[in-house]
Structure 1
Amino acid sequence: MLQQDFGLLCLNTHKNNQRAAFQRFFRAQTHHLPLDIVLFQEAAFSGEDFFLDQFCYEAAPNLQVKGRYYGVLNASDTRVLDASPLLSFTQEVFIKTHKSALITYYPLPGATHDASTDSHSLCVANIHAINFKGLKEYQAEVSLLAEALCHHRGPMIVAGDFNSWSTRRELTLQQFCHALELRPIHFQHPHLIKRFMGHPLDHIFYRGLSLHHASCLSSSRFSDHNMLYAQFRLDTRQHLLHFN
C-alpha cells in the first residue's frame, strides 16, 4: 500500500515512453525524487513490464497500430485495488480516435479491507481530454469523468492533459473541481507547463491530501509537454472528518 508520503508524476510522452533513450532520460530526471505513481498520456504499451523496477501498470488504449497500443497509462510501486477505463463519447476530427481516461484505486495505510470506492483508498484518475471538438463535446467528456468519480469518498487525484486551451474549457474544469471538491496545484516553474493561447493544458487536481512540493521538469527532448511532479502526504483522518 502507499506510504504516508508519496510522489506522483504526470506527462504526455508523445508516444516515446518505450524508447530506450526516453527511459534513460526519465530515470536521470527523477532518480532524486520520491516516485510512487506515474501517469502517462499518449503512452505506448504492448504488455511488457514497466521500465521502472518494481512498478506495475494499468492502461486504457484508444488506438492500436501493428500490435502496439496507445493511450493513458497508470504505473505504481504499490498494488492496484481496481481499475476502470473510460472512452470519450466522440472521436477526434482528424485521426478519428476516441480519447481515454483511466481511474485506479490504491489502498491507504491502515486499510482493513479492499473496497475500492470508500474512504480507505486513494482514487487516481488520468485523462487525455478531447481536443479538436467544440465546447459541448468537451463538457460531455468532463461530465463523464465526474460521474465516474462522484461516488468515491476518499482522497483523490485527477491529472493529465486536459486540452484546456480556452477560457470556456478552463471554466468547465473549475466547475468540475468545485463539484468534486478538488484543489488545483500551482507549480514551481509554471512557464514550463505547455500552453495554447496562454491557457495551460496540463493539470493536477487533488483533495484529502497535504501537498508538500510541486514543480515542472523539462522533458522537451522527447515531448512537446513537460513533466508535472507533486509530492503528497496522506491525511486520512482530516479527510474522513470532512467527507463522511
Structure 2
Amino acid sequence: MKRFNETNYLIENHTYSVEEISRDEITLLNWNIQKKNNFSNWRNEFKTLLDKYNPSIILLQECQFKKGLESLLFSEHYGFIFAPNFIDLFKNLHSGVLTASHGKHSFSEVTKSHAFEPFIKVPKIFLSTKYRISQCDQELLVINIHAINFVGFWKFISQVQQLEYNIKSHNGPVILSGDFNTWNKKRSKILDKIITGIGLEKVRFNNSYSKNIKKFLFFNTLDHIYFKGLDIDQNPKALKTTNSDHNPLFVRFKLTP
C-alpha cells in the first residue's frame, strides 16, 4: 500500500483580525517545526513566542496540521492558509507549509516543484500570499517555502527559478522565507545569486544569533530570509528551542519610505 499521497487542496481559516497590515510594523516569525519532540510542549512554547513577539506574519514549514494548532491560532486572532504537499495515509496526517497572519490575505497561490522527492514521491511546494499595507498602494508578497531536498543540483535550481519568476512578476515589497535545504555551498551560492539578482537582500544575523540557525553538519545554513522594499527595524533574532531541530527566526520590518 502506498503511504504518501500528493495533495491538491488548501485548508484555510479566515478569522483574520485586521484588513491590512501596518506599514510601520511588519513582524515575521519563521520556523521549521517538523522534528518537535512533543506537540504539547511545542504548543506551549509557540504560544509563549506569540505572546512575547506578536508576529504579524507566521511561516511554518514541515507543519503537521492538528486541531491543537488550529485552536491556538484562532485564540490568538490569526487566520491561516495551510498548504499540504502530502498526506501520510498510515497516520492520516497532512504535512506542508502554513502561513498565518493577523491581516487578511488578498491573494494566495501554491507552486509545486517540477521534481519529486525520491523517497516519498511527492513534489515540494511554496505558498505565495499577498497583503494590503496601510497607507500604501502596493501589496506585500510573502513566500513560504520548504525547498526540494534529495535531488540533483539542476532540479534544485529549477525550483529557485520558479521563485524568481513569481517574485519578478510582483510590483511591491517582498518577503521570501523558509527552509531552503541549502546543505552545500553550491546550493547556497546559486540561491543567493538568483534571489539577490532580482533585487532582494538577505537578512543577516549577528554572531550571537547566527550560531542558532539550523545548519547541515555544522556548516551550511538551511533557513534563510530575503526581503525587498522593506527596512529591518531591529536586530533579527534566531531563538533557541528544544522543541524542534530548527530554531525559530524573528525579524521586525517596516515599509521603506
Class of the TM-score when normalised by the shorter of the 2 chains: 0.7 to 0.9
Among 57, 65, 88, the residue aligned to 2:80: 57
- Aligned-residue Cα RMSD (Å) equals 2.0
How far, CA to CA, are the matches of 1:50 and 1:58 in structure 2? 14
Higher RCO structure, 1 or 2 (CA under 8 Å, sep 6+): 2
How far, CA to CA, are the matches of 2:38 and 2:77 in structure 1? 17
Structure 1: segments with no counterpart, 5+ residues: 112-118, 239-244
Q: Deviations over 1:46-95 (max 9, x none)?
A: 68735231101112211112443210110001100011111111111222
1:223 aligns with 2:244: yes
Structure 2: segments with no counterpart, 5+ residues: 1-19
SS at match of 2:148: coil
How far, CA to CA, are the matches of 1:50 and 1:80 in structure 2? 20
Q: Which residue of 2 aligns with 1:143?
A: 161
Instruction: State the AA in 2 paired with 1:105.
Output: K
How far, CA to CA, are the matches of 2:71 and 2:100 in structure 1? 7
Give TM-score, length-normalised by structure 2: 0.83
Q: Which residue of 1 aligns with 2:4?
A: none
The size of the alignment, in residue pairs, is 228
1:128 aligns with 2:146: yes
1:199 aligns with 2:224: no
Instruction: State the AA in 2 paired with 1:183.
Output: E
How far, CA to CA, are the matches of 2:71 and 2:111 in structure 1? 21
Q: Which residue of 2 aligns with 1:211?
A: 232
Instruction: State the AA in 2 paired with 1:24.
Output: N
Change (3 A) 1:84 1:15: farther
How far, CA to CA, are the matches of 1:18 and 1:81 in structure 2? 34
Change (3 A) 1:79 1:18: farther
Give TM-score, length-normalised by structure 1: 0.87
Shift of 1:32: 2.1
How far, CA to CA, are the matches of 1:130 and 1:122 in structure 2? 25
Percent identical among aligned pairs is 31
How far, CA to CA, are the matches of 1:59 and 1:27 in structure 2? 18
How far, CA to CA, are the matches of 2:240 and 2:154 in structure 1? 33
How far, CA to CA, are the matches of 1:202 and 1:161 in structure 2? 4
SS at match of 2:52: coil
In the alignment, is the contact (CA less than 8 A) between 1:123 and 1:156 conserved in 2? yes
Change (3 A) 1:50 1:107: farther
How far, CA to CA, are the matches of 2:225 and 2:150 in structure 1? 22
Q: Runs of 4 or more off by more than 6 Å in structure 1? A: none
How far, CA to CA, are the matches of 1:218 and 1:124 in structure 2? 24
Instruction: State the AA in 1 paired with 2:33.
Output: T
In the alignment, is the contact (CA less than 8 A) between 2:32 and 2:63 conserved in 1? yes
Q: Which residue of 1 aligns with 2:99?
A: 74
Among 164, 168, 175, the residue aligned to 2:182: 164
